Structure 1
Amino acid sequence: MEGLTDQLSQFSLGEVQRAGVASSFVLLFRKMLSLALDSETINGLLLGRPSSEGNEFTQHRKPKSVKDFSNEGLCCRDRLRAQLSLRFPSEDINEIKAMLLDPRIKSKANSIISDPVLVTRAEQELQAEHCLYHDVDILKWFKDHGENSFPAISILARIYLAKPMSTAQQERVFSLSGYVVNELRTRLDEDRAEKLCLMKANWPQYKLLMNE
Protein backbone atom coordinates (compact mmCIF):
# COMPACT_ATOMS: atom_id res chain seq x y z
CA MET A 1 0.00 0.00 0.00
CA GLU A 2 2.89 2.35 0.73
CA GLY A 3 4.36 1.74 -2.72
CA LEU A 4 1.01 2.50 -4.38
CA THR A 5 0.49 5.72 -2.47
CA ASP A 6 4.10 6.73 -3.18
CA GLN A 7 3.46 6.41 -6.91
CA LEU A 8 0.25 8.38 -6.53
CA SER A 9 2.04 11.20 -4.70
CA GLN A 10 4.36 11.72 -7.68
CA PHE A 11 1.41 13.12 -9.65
CA SER A 12 0.60 15.81 -7.10
CA LEU A 13 0.63 19.38 -8.45
CA GLY A 14 1.81 22.32 -6.37
CA GLU A 15 -0.91 24.66 -7.67
CA VAL A 16 -4.64 24.15 -7.25
CA GLN A 17 -6.31 23.26 -10.54
CA ARG A 18 -9.46 25.24 -11.28
CA ALA A 19 -12.45 23.35 -12.59
CA GLY A 20 -12.86 25.55 -15.66
CA VAL A 21 -9.29 25.16 -16.90
CA ALA A 22 -8.02 22.15 -18.87
CA SER A 23 -4.53 21.16 -17.79
CA SER A 24 -2.06 20.12 -20.46
CA PHE A 25 -0.63 17.43 -18.13
CA VAL A 26 -3.91 15.63 -17.37
CA LEU A 27 -3.61 13.06 -20.15
CA LEU A 28 0.09 12.53 -19.47
CA PHE A 29 -0.57 11.84 -15.78
CA ARG A 30 -3.50 9.60 -16.71
CA LYS A 31 -1.29 7.54 -19.02
CA MET A 32 1.58 7.25 -16.53
CA LEU A 33 -0.71 6.35 -13.64
CA SER A 34 -2.43 3.68 -15.74
CA LEU A 35 0.94 2.13 -16.57
CA ALA A 36 1.97 2.27 -12.92
CA LEU A 37 -1.20 0.50 -11.75
CA ASP A 38 -0.87 -2.17 -14.45
CA SER A 39 2.75 -2.91 -13.57
CA GLU A 40 3.64 -6.36 -12.24
CA THR A 41 5.96 -4.92 -9.58
CA ILE A 42 5.73 -1.95 -7.22
CA ASN A 43 8.71 -0.32 -5.51
CA GLY A 44 8.10 -0.51 -1.78
CA LEU A 45 10.00 1.15 1.03
CA LEU A 46 12.42 -1.09 2.92
CA LEU A 47 11.79 -1.28 6.64
CA GLY A 48 15.45 -1.34 7.59
CA ARG A 49 16.96 1.10 10.05
CA PRO A 50 17.47 4.46 8.28
CA SER A 51 20.66 6.47 8.51
CA SER A 52 20.86 9.52 10.76
CA GLU A 53 21.03 11.88 7.76
CA GLY A 54 18.41 10.12 5.64
CA ASN A 55 14.89 11.20 4.79
CA GLU A 56 11.90 9.83 2.88
CA PHE A 57 13.55 10.68 -0.44
CA THR A 58 16.83 8.87 0.21
CA GLN A 59 15.44 5.65 1.67
CA HIS A 60 16.06 2.48 -0.30
CA ARG A 61 13.19 0.85 -2.17
CA LYS A 62 12.82 -2.68 -3.45
CA PRO A 63 10.48 -3.94 -6.19
CA LYS A 64 7.75 -6.24 -4.92
CA SER A 65 5.64 -8.46 -7.12
CA VAL A 66 1.90 -7.81 -7.19
CA LYS A 67 1.38 -11.54 -6.63
CA ASP A 68 2.87 -11.14 -3.15
CA PHE A 69 0.49 -8.32 -2.18
CA SER A 70 -1.77 -8.76 0.80
CA ASN A 71 -5.54 -8.55 0.44
CA GLU A 72 -5.43 -4.96 1.68
CA GLY A 73 -2.79 -4.03 -0.92
CA LEU A 74 -4.79 -5.59 -3.76
CA CYS A 75 -7.90 -3.79 -2.54
CA CYS A 76 -5.98 -0.50 -2.52
CA ARG A 77 -4.84 -1.03 -6.11
CA ASP A 78 -8.36 -1.93 -7.26
CA ARG A 79 -9.76 1.20 -5.63
CA LEU A 80 -7.13 3.37 -7.31
CA ARG A 81 -8.06 1.85 -10.67
CA ALA A 82 -11.74 2.54 -9.99
CA GLN A 83 -11.00 6.15 -9.03
CA LEU A 84 -8.90 6.60 -12.17
CA SER A 85 -11.76 5.34 -14.36
CA LEU A 86 -14.27 7.48 -12.45
CA ARG A 87 -12.32 10.75 -12.57
CA PHE A 88 -10.86 10.31 -16.08
CA PRO A 89 -13.40 8.16 -17.95
CA SER A 90 -12.30 9.23 -21.44
CA GLU A 91 -9.87 11.46 -23.31
CA ASP A 92 -11.50 14.90 -23.49
CA ILE A 93 -11.02 16.97 -26.66
CA ASN A 94 -10.23 20.13 -24.65
CA GLU A 95 -7.50 18.33 -22.73
CA ILE A 96 -6.00 17.16 -26.04
CA LYS A 97 -6.03 20.75 -27.31
CA ALA A 98 -4.29 21.91 -24.13
CA MET A 99 -1.61 19.27 -24.66
CA LEU A 100 -1.08 20.28 -28.31
CA LEU A 101 -0.68 23.92 -27.27
CA ASP A 102 1.96 23.04 -24.66
CA PRO A 103 5.40 22.91 -26.36
CA ARG A 104 6.81 20.80 -23.50
CA ILE A 105 4.72 17.70 -24.29
CA LYS A 106 3.27 18.46 -27.73
CA SER A 107 5.65 16.02 -29.44
CA LYS A 108 4.47 13.15 -27.19
CA ALA A 109 0.76 13.56 -27.99
CA ASN A 110 0.56 10.59 -30.38
CA SER A 111 2.18 8.26 -27.85
CA ILE A 112 0.01 9.44 -24.95
CA ILE A 113 -3.39 9.52 -26.65
CA SER A 114 -4.67 6.12 -27.70
CA ASP A 115 -7.07 7.34 -30.41
CA PRO A 116 -5.24 9.07 -33.31
CA VAL A 117 -8.58 10.28 -34.71
CA LEU A 118 -9.03 12.53 -31.67
CA VAL A 119 -5.57 14.02 -32.18
CA THR A 120 -6.36 14.83 -35.81
CA ARG A 121 -9.71 16.33 -34.83
CA ALA A 122 -8.12 18.50 -32.14
CA GLU A 123 -5.46 19.76 -34.57
CA GLN A 124 -8.10 20.65 -37.16
CA GLU A 125 -10.21 22.52 -34.60
CA LEU A 126 -7.18 24.48 -33.39
CA GLN A 127 -6.34 25.47 -36.96
CA ALA A 128 -9.95 26.55 -37.55
CA GLU A 129 -9.93 28.62 -34.35
CA HIS A 130 -6.68 30.27 -35.39
CA CYS A 131 -8.23 31.32 -38.73
CA LEU A 132 -10.95 33.20 -36.84
CA TYR A 133 -8.39 35.71 -35.56
CA HIS A 134 -8.22 37.27 -39.04
CA ASP A 135 -11.95 38.12 -38.96
CA VAL A 136 -12.63 38.71 -35.25
CA ASP A 137 -11.39 41.56 -33.07
CA ILE A 138 -10.14 39.53 -30.12
CA LEU A 139 -10.05 42.50 -27.71
CA LYS A 140 -13.65 43.46 -28.50
CA TRP A 141 -14.74 39.82 -28.19
CA PHE A 142 -13.17 39.51 -24.74
CA LYS A 143 -14.89 42.71 -23.66
CA ASP A 144 -18.34 41.66 -24.92
CA HIS A 145 -18.40 37.89 -24.35
CA GLY A 146 -15.12 36.46 -23.08
CA GLU A 147 -15.23 37.90 -19.56
CA ASN A 148 -18.44 36.03 -18.74
CA SER A 149 -17.86 32.84 -20.72
CA PHE A 150 -14.18 32.31 -19.88
CA PRO A 151 -13.28 34.11 -16.63
CA ALA A 152 -9.89 32.41 -16.26
CA ILE A 153 -8.80 33.34 -19.80
CA SER A 154 -10.18 36.83 -19.28
CA ILE A 155 -7.84 37.34 -16.32
CA LEU A 156 -4.84 36.32 -18.43
CA ALA A 157 -6.00 38.59 -21.25
CA ARG A 158 -6.15 41.57 -18.90
CA ILE A 159 -2.60 40.87 -17.74
CA TYR A 160 -0.86 40.24 -21.06
CA LEU A 161 -2.97 41.93 -23.75
CA ALA A 162 -3.07 45.22 -21.84
CA LYS A 163 0.72 45.61 -21.79
CA PRO A 164 1.82 48.38 -24.18
CA MET A 165 4.53 47.60 -26.70
CA SER A 166 7.87 49.31 -26.21
CA THR A 167 11.08 49.36 -28.22
CA ALA A 168 14.65 49.12 -26.98
CA GLN A 169 15.11 52.83 -27.63
CA GLN A 170 12.16 53.67 -25.37
CA GLU A 171 13.54 51.43 -22.63
CA ARG A 172 16.89 53.24 -22.81
CA VAL A 173 15.14 56.62 -22.48
CA PHE A 174 13.27 55.40 -19.41
CA SER A 175 16.52 54.19 -17.86
CA LEU A 176 18.13 57.54 -18.65
CA SER A 177 15.37 59.43 -16.85
CA GLY A 178 16.26 57.53 -13.69
CA TYR A 179 19.78 58.97 -13.82
CA VAL A 180 18.62 62.51 -14.65
CA VAL A 181 15.96 62.73 -11.95
CA ASN A 182 17.54 61.49 -8.71
CA GLU A 183 17.74 62.41 -5.04
CA LEU A 184 20.35 65.11 -5.76
CA ARG A 185 18.01 66.96 -8.11
CA THR A 186 14.87 67.29 -6.06
CA ARG A 187 14.14 70.83 -7.30
CA LEU A 188 14.39 69.95 -10.98
CA ASP A 189 11.16 70.97 -12.74
CA GLU A 190 9.43 68.80 -15.36
CA ASP A 191 10.33 70.95 -18.38
CA ARG A 192 14.04 71.04 -17.55
CA ALA A 193 14.13 67.30 -16.83
CA GLU A 194 12.45 66.59 -20.17
CA LYS A 195 14.96 68.80 -22.01
CA LEU A 196 17.90 67.06 -20.32
CA CYS A 197 16.59 63.64 -21.30
CA LEU A 198 16.00 64.71 -24.88
CA MET A 199 19.43 66.31 -25.14
CA LYS A 200 21.14 63.23 -23.74
CA ALA A 201 19.25 60.83 -26.01
CA ASN A 202 19.88 62.94 -29.12
CA TRP A 203 23.38 64.21 -28.28
CA PRO A 204 25.15 62.47 -31.24
CA GLN A 205 22.70 63.99 -33.72
CA TYR A 206 23.10 67.39 -32.05
CA LYS A 207 26.89 67.23 -32.47
CA LEU A 208 26.52 66.39 -36.15
CA LEU A 209 24.26 69.39 -36.66
CA MET A 210 26.72 71.68 -34.88
CA ASN A 211 29.62 70.47 -37.06
CA GLU A 212 27.63 71.16 -40.19
Structure 2
Amino acid sequence: MKSRIKSDLLQRYSEPEIDKLLSRCCLVDPRFKKRLSEDVRQVTIAALKKELMELYEGETSKEVTITSMEPPRKQSALSKILDDEPEHAVSVQTTIAEKVNNEFDIYMQMPVANTNQSPLDWWKKEELQFPLLSKLARNYLCICATSVASERVFSVAGYINSTLRSCLKPEKINQLTFLSRNLD
Protein backbone atom coordinates (compact mmCIF):
# COMPACT_ATOMS: atom_id res chain seq x y z
CA MET A 1 0.00 0.00 0.00
CA LYS A 2 2.79 2.42 0.93
CA SER A 3 4.67 1.75 -2.30
CA ARG A 4 1.54 2.40 -4.38
CA ILE A 5 0.91 5.69 -2.58
CA LYS A 6 4.56 6.67 -3.01
CA SER A 7 4.55 5.87 -6.74
CA ASP A 8 1.29 7.78 -7.19
CA LEU A 9 2.68 10.84 -5.41
CA LEU A 10 5.93 10.70 -7.39
CA GLN A 11 3.95 10.53 -10.61
CA ARG A 12 1.70 13.45 -9.65
CA TYR A 13 4.47 15.75 -8.48
CA SER A 14 7.21 14.96 -10.96
CA GLU A 15 6.79 18.13 -13.03
CA PRO A 16 9.40 20.82 -12.24
CA GLU A 17 6.87 23.68 -12.27
CA ILE A 18 4.67 21.94 -9.70
CA ASP A 19 7.75 21.22 -7.59
CA LYS A 20 8.74 24.91 -7.68
CA LEU A 21 5.23 25.98 -6.69
CA LEU A 22 5.11 23.50 -3.82
CA SER A 23 8.53 24.63 -2.58
CA ARG A 24 7.42 28.27 -2.61
CA CYS A 25 4.20 27.44 -0.77
CA CYS A 26 6.16 25.42 1.78
CA LEU A 27 8.66 28.23 2.35
CA VAL A 28 6.03 30.92 3.00
CA ASP A 29 4.17 28.62 5.38
CA PRO A 30 5.71 29.43 8.79
CA ARG A 31 5.03 25.87 9.98
CA PHE A 32 7.07 24.15 7.25
CA LYS A 33 9.69 26.70 6.14
CA LYS A 34 12.59 24.70 7.55
CA ARG A 35 11.52 21.31 6.18
CA LEU A 36 13.01 22.00 2.76
CA SER A 37 16.54 20.82 2.12
CA GLU A 38 19.16 23.57 2.32
CA ASP A 39 19.83 23.76 -1.42
CA VAL A 40 16.11 23.80 -2.33
CA ARG A 41 15.52 26.43 0.38
CA GLN A 42 18.23 28.73 -1.00
CA VAL A 43 16.95 28.40 -4.60
CA THR A 44 13.38 29.03 -3.45
CA ILE A 45 14.38 32.07 -1.38
CA ALA A 46 16.22 33.52 -4.38
CA ALA A 47 13.17 32.94 -6.61
CA LEU A 48 10.81 34.54 -4.08
CA LYS A 49 13.12 37.53 -3.64
CA LYS A 50 13.18 37.99 -7.41
CA GLU A 51 9.39 37.72 -7.52
CA LEU A 52 9.02 40.34 -4.79
CA MET A 53 11.40 42.68 -6.62
CA GLU A 54 9.36 42.27 -9.82
CA LEU A 55 6.15 42.85 -7.86
CA TYR A 56 7.42 46.16 -6.50
CA GLU A 57 9.33 47.16 -9.63
CA GLY A 58 6.36 49.17 -10.89
CA GLU A 59 6.33 51.35 -7.79
CA THR A 60 7.10 55.02 -8.41
CA SER A 61 9.83 55.11 -5.79
CA LYS A 62 12.33 52.34 -5.15
CA GLU A 63 13.21 53.84 -1.80
CA VAL A 64 11.28 53.37 1.39
CA THR A 65 11.58 55.64 4.39
CA ILE A 66 11.66 53.86 7.70
CA THR A 67 11.35 55.80 10.92
CA SER A 68 12.98 54.13 13.85
CA MET A 69 13.00 55.14 17.47
CA GLU A 70 16.27 55.73 19.25
CA PRO A 71 16.49 55.81 23.00
CA PRO A 72 16.58 59.38 24.27
CA ARG A 73 20.08 60.71 24.71
CA LYS A 74 21.05 63.07 27.48
CA GLN A 75 21.28 66.69 26.41
CA SER A 76 22.14 69.84 28.17
CA ALA A 77 19.51 72.57 28.54
CA LEU A 78 21.35 74.76 25.98
CA SER A 79 21.48 72.00 23.36
CA LYS A 80 17.77 71.28 23.87
CA ILE A 81 16.96 74.91 23.13
CA LEU A 82 19.25 75.19 20.09
CA ASP A 83 18.49 71.74 18.58
CA ASP A 84 15.95 71.91 15.75
CA GLU A 85 15.60 68.15 15.18
CA PRO A 86 13.42 65.97 17.38
CA GLU A 87 15.57 63.72 19.49
CA HIS A 88 13.72 60.40 18.96
CA ALA A 89 12.86 60.01 15.28
CA VAL A 90 15.55 58.94 12.86
CA SER A 91 14.77 58.63 9.16
CA VAL A 92 16.63 55.96 7.23
CA GLN A 93 16.43 55.48 3.45
CA THR A 94 16.47 51.86 2.26
CA THR A 95 15.83 50.37 -1.14
CA ILE A 96 13.19 47.74 -1.79
CA ALA A 97 15.96 45.17 -2.33
CA GLU A 98 17.40 45.87 1.13
CA LYS A 99 13.93 45.70 2.67
CA VAL A 100 13.19 42.36 0.94
CA ASN A 101 16.54 40.88 2.04
CA ASN A 102 16.00 42.12 5.58
CA GLU A 103 12.48 40.65 5.80
CA PHE A 104 13.66 37.26 4.51
CA ASP A 105 16.60 37.18 6.92
CA ILE A 106 14.39 37.93 9.92
CA TYR A 107 11.65 35.52 8.75
CA MET A 108 14.05 32.62 8.28
CA GLN A 109 15.60 33.19 11.73
CA MET A 110 12.23 33.12 13.49
CA PRO A 111 11.18 29.81 15.08
CA VAL A 112 8.80 27.54 13.22
CA ALA A 113 5.13 28.14 13.99
CA ASN A 114 2.96 25.58 15.76
CA THR A 115 1.50 23.04 13.31
CA ASN A 116 -1.99 23.62 14.74
CA GLN A 117 -1.82 27.33 13.92
CA SER A 118 -3.28 28.64 10.67
CA PRO A 119 -0.56 30.12 8.44
CA LEU A 120 -2.90 32.88 7.27
CA ASP A 121 -3.57 33.89 10.88
CA TRP A 122 0.19 33.88 11.54
CA TRP A 123 0.83 36.19 8.56
CA LYS A 124 -2.00 38.49 9.60
CA LYS A 125 -0.43 38.81 13.04
CA GLU A 126 3.08 39.38 11.62
CA GLU A 127 2.02 41.69 8.77
CA LEU A 128 3.49 44.79 10.41
CA GLN A 129 6.89 43.15 10.75
CA PHE A 130 6.85 41.66 7.21
CA PRO A 131 4.73 43.95 5.01
CA LEU A 132 6.26 42.84 1.69
CA LEU A 133 6.61 39.15 2.47
CA SER A 134 3.11 38.84 3.96
CA LYS A 135 1.57 40.02 0.70
CA LEU A 136 3.49 37.37 -1.22
CA ALA A 137 2.60 34.70 1.34
CA ARG A 138 -1.11 35.42 0.99
CA ASN A 139 -0.79 34.98 -2.79
CA TYR A 140 0.66 31.49 -2.34
CA LEU A 141 -1.32 30.34 0.69
CA CYS A 142 -4.70 31.12 -0.88
CA ILE A 143 -4.23 28.28 -3.38
CA CYS A 144 -6.74 25.56 -2.58
CA ALA A 145 -4.91 22.30 -1.94
CA THR A 146 -7.80 20.01 -2.85
CA SER A 147 -10.88 20.08 -5.07
CA VAL A 148 -13.17 18.81 -2.32
CA ALA A 149 -14.99 22.13 -1.83
CA SER A 150 -15.81 22.54 -5.51
CA GLU A 151 -16.90 18.89 -5.77
CA ARG A 152 -19.33 19.44 -2.90
CA VAL A 153 -20.83 22.45 -4.67
CA PHE A 154 -21.31 20.39 -7.82
CA SER A 155 -23.02 17.66 -5.77
CA VAL A 156 -25.40 20.17 -4.22
CA ALA A 157 -26.16 21.64 -7.65
CA GLY A 158 -26.83 18.11 -8.91
CA TYR A 159 -29.33 17.50 -6.12
CA ILE A 160 -31.09 20.80 -6.84
CA ASN A 161 -31.19 20.31 -10.61
CA SER A 162 -32.73 16.84 -10.60
CA THR A 163 -35.12 15.32 -13.14
CA LEU A 164 -38.04 16.47 -10.97
CA ARG A 165 -36.82 20.08 -11.06
CA SER A 166 -35.52 20.27 -14.60
CA CYS A 167 -37.52 23.41 -15.45
CA LEU A 168 -35.56 25.65 -13.08
CA LYS A 169 -33.77 28.53 -14.71
CA PRO A 170 -29.95 28.76 -14.28
CA GLU A 171 -30.27 31.89 -12.11
CA LYS A 172 -32.57 30.03 -9.68
CA ILE A 173 -30.20 27.05 -9.55
CA ASN A 174 -27.31 29.41 -8.75
CA GLN A 175 -29.33 31.10 -6.00
CA LEU A 176 -30.49 27.81 -4.47
CA THR A 177 -26.97 26.36 -4.60
CA PHE A 178 -25.56 29.48 -2.94
CA LEU A 179 -28.21 29.37 -0.20
CA SER A 180 -27.72 25.65 0.35
CA ARG A 181 -23.95 25.96 0.79
CA ASN A 182 -24.02 29.13 2.91
CA LEU A 183 -26.93 28.53 5.26
CA ASP A 184 -25.47 25.40 6.85
| Band of TM-score, shorter chain | under 0.3
TM-score by length of 1: 0.22
Structure 2-normalised TM-score? 0.25
* Structure index of larger Rg: 1
Larger relative contact order (C-alpha < 8 A, sep ≥ 6)?
2
